[in-house]
Amino acid sequence: MIFEKRSTRTRMSTETGFALLGGHPCFLTSQDIHLGVNESSTDTARVLSGLSDIVLARVCSHSTLEELVKDASIPIINGLSDLYHPIQILADFLTLQEHYGSLSGLTVSWIGDGNNVLHSFMMTAAKLGVHLRVATPKGYDPDSSIIQEAQRLSKQHGTQLLLTSDPVEAARGSNVLVTDTWVSMGQEEEKKQRIKDFHGYQITMQTGSVAKPDWTFLHCLPRKQEEVDDQVFYSPRSLVFLEAENRKWTIMLECVTRLVQVGCGVNSVTTRFAQTPTHIAAFGGHTECLLWLLQAGADINRQDYVGETPIHKAARADSLDCVNALLIQGAKAE
C-alpha cells in the first residue's frame, strides 16, 4: 500500500479487507517511499514486484500510477489519483445496487467540483445504464477529454448526460444526489476562493425537493457542512455510512479479481481464520462479491475451520440474499 496522500477509508478498507482475505498489508507513506525522488518509479515498481503480490497506490499524480503500471509485473490498483478514484465508484454503485435493487435506469446527479471522483462517475455510469446529471461552477468543469469520452459512452449505451452550472437543473428528476469535498488535499490555499465560488451548491432538503420522491444522498467523505447540511447528511436518505463500509467489500473484490487474473486461487483459506474468501463474503452478506467469487470458481460447499460451508455462514449471519444466491447456485442446504 503506497499512500502519497493520507486517508481514513481507503487505508482501513484495504488493510482490514486484505487481512480478512489472508493477506499481509504493508503500509508505506510518502515519508517511507519517495517515488521518483530517491528512486525512480521504474525501479520502485520492479522492486515491489519482487517483494509483494499486489500494490494499491494512492498517488498525487496520475502519471506516477501509469509509470508503476508500465514497469510492474504484479497488479497495480488505483487507490486514488488526481484524475480518477475508481475504487470509490465501485463502493458507490454497490451501495446503490443494494438500496435500489438495480442500477439500470437510475439518474445520478453530481453537484460540486469537477474532480477525480466525478471523472470516475462519468467513465462508469453509462456502462451500467445510469443517467448522469452534472452541475459544476464555471471554471470547475471536469476534464475536457473525459467529457468527450463520457459523451461517447452515453451515446453508445443509450443513457443521458447533462452538463450544467445550475444545481437545481442537475437535481431535477434525480434518484441520487452526490457531492464531494470542495477543497481537496493540496488545495488548502484556494479554500477561501473555492467556498465563495461554490456558493449555492450546498445540498439541502430544498435541493432534493425537485428530485424523485425516493431520492438518496452519497458523499465519499470526509464531509464539511458547507457541502451538505446536517438535515440531509444525517437523514434516512443518506447512505454515506453504508457507502463507507462498502469500500471494504469492493476492495476485497478488486484484490481477489486481480489476484485470480494472475493465477491465485479463490478457494485458498486465510492463514488466520482458515476461511475462504467465499465464506467471508457470505458471512458479511455481500451478495455481489459472493456471486463473483462463485463465477470465478469458488467451492460452494467447501468447509471452513469450524466445519461450516458458505451457506452455513450466510444463514448464521441472517444474510438471506446470500442464502438464496447460494441455493440458486446449487449449494447443499443441509
DSSP-derived secondary structure letter, 203: B
80-89, 175-184, 233-242, 295-304: the lowest-pLDDT one: 295-304
Task: Compute the distance between CA of residue 146 and CA of residue 126 in angstroms, rounded to an integer.
Answer: 13
48-52, 98-102, 181-185, 330-334: the lowest-pLDDT one: 330-334
What is the pLDDT, as a whole number, of residue 273?
61
Looking at per-residue confidence, does 330 or 245 come out higher? Answer: 245
Q: Which band of pLDDT confidence, cut at 50, 70 and 90, is reported for residue 318?
A: confident
Which phi and psi (to 5°) does residue 260 adopt? -65, -40
What is the pLDDT, as a whole number, of residue 270?
63
Provide the terminal-to-terminal Cα distance of the chain, rounded to the nearest Å: 41
With a pLDDT cut of 90, the percent of the chain lying above it is 66
Burial state string for 263-274 with b = 16 or more CB within 10 A and e = fewer than 16: eeebeebbeeee
Task: Compute the distance between CA of residue 332 and CA of residue 312 in angstroms, rounded to an integer.
Answer: 10
Residue 58, classed as helix, strand or coil, is strand
Provide mean pLDDT across the span 263-288: 74
Residue 109, classed as helix, strand or coil, is strand
What is the pLDDT, as a whole number, of residue 334?
65
What is the pLDDT, as a whole number, of residue 306?
78
101-110, 270-279, 293-302: the lowest-pLDDT one: 270-279
What is the pLDDT, as a whole number, of residue 26?
95
Task: Compute the distance between CA of residue 298 and CA of residue 277 in angstroms, rounded to an integer.
Answer: 8
* Cβ–Cβ < 8 Å for 263, 7: no
Looking at per-residue confidence, does 141 or 5 come out higher? Answer: 141
Picking from 107, 68, 60, 54, the residue whose alpha carbon sits closest to that of residue 84 is 60
* 91 alpha carbon, distance to own chain's centre: 4
Q: Which band of pLDDT confidence, cut at 50, 70 and 90, is reported for residue 40?
A: confident
Q: Which residues are catalytic?
A: 220
Provide mean pLDDT across the span 254-268: 78
What is the pLDDT, as a whole number, of residue 271?
52
What is the pLDDT, as a whole number, of residue 67?
94
pLDDT of 287 > 90? The answer is no
* Cβ–Cβ < 8 Å for 84, 210: no
36-45, 46-55, 112-121, 269-278: which has the highest mean pLDDT?
112-121
Task: Compute the distance between CA of residue 33 and CA of residue 50 in angstroms, rounded to an integer.
Answer: 16
What is the pLDDT, as a whole number, of residue 12?
96
Count of beta carbons in the 10 Å neighbourhood of residue 60: 16
What is the pLDDT, as a whole number, of residue 328?
83
What is the pLDDT, as a whole number, of residue 300?
81
pLDDT of 320 > 90? The answer is no
What is the pLDDT, as a whole number, of residue 143?
98
Average pLDDT, the chain: 91
pLDDT of 241 > 90? The answer is yes
Map grid coordinates 460451508 to a residue: 309
Q: Which band of pLDDT confidence, cut at 50, 70 and 90, is reported for residue 256?
A: confident
What is the pLDDT, as a whole number, of residue 250?
93
Secondary structure in 3-state letters for 245-286: HHHHHHHHHHHHHHHHHCCCCCCCCCCCCCCCHHHHHHHHCC
pLDDT tens-digit series, residues 156-178: 999 999 999 999 999 999 999 99
